[in-house]
Amino acid sequence: MKIGFIGLGIMGKPMAKNLMKAGHELVVYDIVQENVIALQEEGATPAPSAKDVAKETKVIITMLPNSPHVKEAILGEGGVLEGAKPGSIIVDMSSIAPLASQEIAKACEEKEVILLDAPVSGGEPKAIDGTLSIMVGGDPEAFEGVKDILLSMGASAVLCGDIGAGNTTKLANQVIVALNIVAVSEAFMLSTKAGVDPERVFEAIKGGLAGSTVMNAKIPMITAGNFKPGFKVDLHIKDLKNALDTGHEVGSPLPFTAQALEILQYLHAHDSGQEDHSAIAKYYETLTGQKIQNEER
């Protein structure tokens, strides 16, 4: 199938490659030309604009940083809606505010175009190996029509409800991940300060109730001092801001999310915004003057 793909960054590029591995033909666009060239070398067809991507395809995937970027790519001058045909499906896999998804969907509906919001969880490693968790909001029939496409990029694709439900689910995911990393950092600093090897603590508790996918992924990075980004601090700041804004809109209290956001903002202000969100541990290392580390670090 010929599919449009807009946004070829740290997540979009490997996702697009997995679609091509699954046998799909891609028409691609990104404002960074070197990203387009990288996909062209893999066999994708470049397009000069989002509008031109939509002209050539009936299913258009967007994977962009935040709500304003998605609005610009879909609703703006030279955007998807200028080229999309009636009946086209836009699958926005960006992580944006649910209310923004609903606003974009309404504009799409006026042109007889369907929007699904389908953010992902798993970061760059799972984008590369095609095992992302995909949370979808929108029309059930449209979802069924693209589900196989989504499963070329992910291990699961779940319809969570109407438009915006995908991004609401993603915000819940991001709250849980952030608070998990805060808890892990706090607990492992406690063991370190008490003189207990954090790697032994990890081995002892990872199989119990405290164990989690987050701990399994992040403790090896933290103890090695490896904060190479799989999911950047600055992107998690964006997600938690969207979570707080949504919480305020619907009347849901998020006090611990606000605390986690302040820690991430501290890291951003101290030159760690482009590091992995496991760098939350560095906040505790700064407070205590001690590293959470293995023997080699």
DSSP string, 19-85: HHHTT-EEEEE-SSHHHHHHHHTTTPEE-SSHHHHHHH-SEEEE--SSHHHHHHHHHSTT-HHHHPP
Largest CA distance in the chain: 65
Q: Which two tokens stand for residue 10?
A: 């740290």
C-alpha pair distances (Å), 54 with each of 40, 67, 79, 166, 274: 17, 19, 8, 23, 32
Catalytically annotated residues: 170
Non-local (6+) Cβ contacts of 70 within 8 A are 62, 64, 92, 94, 96, 100, 104
C-alpha pair distances (Å), 31 with each of 8, 36, 64, 117, 185: 9, 8, 11, 22, 37
